[in-house]
Amino acid sequence: MQEKDNTRRKVLIGLTTAVSLSGIPFAATPFIASWNPSARAKAAGASVKVDVSKMQYGQQIQVAWRKQPVFVIRHTKESLKGLEATLSKLRDPNSEDIDELYRGQNLTRSKSSEYTVIAGVCTHLGCSPKYHPEVEPKPWDASWAGGFFCPCHGSMFDMVGRVFKGVPAPTNLPVPPHFFNGSILTIGEDEELA
Q: For the chain, what are the domain ranges?
A: 2-36, 44-187
pLDDT at position 53 is 95
With beta carbons less than 8 A apart as the criterion, state whether 42 and 65 touch. Answer: no
pLDDT at position 164 is 96
Is the pTM of the predicted complex or chain greater than 0.85? Answer: no
> Which of 92, 45, 52 has the alpha carbon at shortest distance from 68?
45
pLDDT tens track, the chain, 194 positions: 667 677 888 777 878 887 777 777 766 666 566 555 555 555 556 899 999 999 999 999 999 999 999 999 999 999 998 898 889 999 999 999 998 989 989 999 999 999 999 999 999 988 999 999 998 999 999 999 999 999 999 999 999 999 999 999 999 999 999 999 999 999 998 877 65
Q: In the CATH hierarchy, which fold is given to the domain comprising 44-187?
A: Rieske Iron-sulfur Protein (2.102.10)
Position 194, amino acid: A
pLDDT at position 7 is 83
pLDDT at position 109 is 94
pLDDT at position 40 is 57
pLDDT at position 123 is 94
CA trace torsion 141, 144, 150, 151 (10° rounding): 50
